[in-house]
Structure formats: structure tokens, C-alpha cells
Amino acid sequence: MDLSDERSPVAARLEADSIWLEYGQHRVLQNIYVRVDAGQVVGLLGRNGYGKSSLLEIIYGTRPAQNRSVRINGRYVDKLYQRPNTIAFLPQKSFIPGTLLVKDVFALYGSAVAQATAFFPELTSTFPQRFDRLSGGQQRLVETVLILTSPAHFALLDEPFSNVMPLHVETLKGLINTVKQQKGILLTDHYYRDVLDISDTVYVLTSGGRTVRLTEPEQQLKDVGYLR
């Protein structure tokens, strides 16, 4: 299926299940189910080493797994990242080549400059600069805003609040609440309270590599050992 075909419906539902990932005898993920609908923020929590980043990469299509099923509107998709305007991914590590100007990166992604600067006016001064001339915090903010304001129907965010000033975290949460009206967002971060605050649905990855949908987040996070 060509999701860019005008006859295809708008990508409104992203599902991932039957994902199996192991390295040698170490089983990382199994019995996974995650669903993200347009107009929804879905949080993914889990302790270090439980496979959160791996799961996002498998959904995006850049990490192989022993088994996987990723579907858009109920139809299987092999390499989601190859589908134009379907999904955008913020990985943990910086992904923008340092020699590019910030304004050129926004143009390449088709991201909405007016929306970005409405929430973060200070980004205007970064547009004529090379990306590698920005501070670490500025780089992370640019990357996160770039992904959120892109035209993709879905966004995967791996630690969007990392290395970002607390004031900017609150503004990012406001931007997420705004852009979710047009797209579905799956995010994970160690700042779990921010994740709970912004999410319509929350899953937690357990030590056995399973996802549990939370109905009583604080208590269930204690039950599975995420909170102590």
C-alpha cells in the first residue's frame, strides 16, 4: 500500500504488536501492543534497558526484530520511515548534520516555522546559524520542535524533555497539546510525571518485555517496580 496515494485514507491509527526482540539469550521485547490514534498522545514508560528506544526504532522501521507487525489504519507496513509524511522520529541522539543551517533543516522537513516560533520566539535567532554552533539544549529544542511541527501524521519522541530547560519543557507540553489535534504522538521520557501529565493513554514496559496499559498509573507503576 502506498500511504501517499491520494486515494488512501488519512493515516489515523498506528498499531504495533507481535514484536519480538532478543539478543542471544537475552529477550528484550515480547507480547507488545501499542496503539496511537490521531488526536492522541500516548506515553511509554519503562526502566533503563527495558527496550523503549528499541521499540520506537522497530516501529519506525530502522531496527530489525525477530518478529514485528506495524500497521497503519489496519494495513501492514514494512518500513514506515519510507512512507512520505506518515511518521517523524526524534531519536535520543542528535540526527541533524552539524553543517546545515537551522532554517534549511526546517525547509527540508516541511516543518511549520510560524507555529514553531509562535511557541518559541527565541528560535528565530537560530535559523541563520549552523546547527553545530548551537548549545546542546538549543539543539535538542530545535530537533524536538522540528519533528512536532512537521507534516507527518505521527510523531515518535524519544526523550523530548532531555537536556531542555524546565521552562521550555512546559512550553513543549503546550506545543504537543496543540499539534496532537492533527497527529498522533508516541513519546517516552525519564521525566515520568511530565509523560503522565501530557498523555491520554500510558503504557509501561515490564521486565519481561511486555506492555501494560495503565488505568491507575501511580499505583500500577509501583506494582511493576517502575516506582519505588
User: Domain map of the chain by residue range?
Assistant: 13-223
C-alpha 33: how far from its chain's center? 16
How is residue 40 written as a grid cell? 492522541
The confidence score (pLDDT) of residue 228 equals 80
> Burial of 56 by CB count in 10 Å (0-12 exposed, 13-18 middle, 19+ buried)?
buried
Closest CA to 83 of 74, 93, 95, 72: 72
Q: Which helix (H) or strand (E) holds 111?
A: none
C-alpha 180: how far from its chain's center? 12
Whole-number percent of the chain with pLDDT over 90: 83
Q: Which parts of the chain have pLDDT scores under 70?
A: 1-9
Q: How far apart are CA 171 and CA 21, in angstroms?
A: 35
The confidence score (pLDDT) of residue 209 equals 87
Which class does domain 13-223 fall in? alpha beta
Q: How far apart are CA 171 and CA 59, in angstroms?
A: 27
DSSP string, 40-54: -EEEEE--TTSSHHH
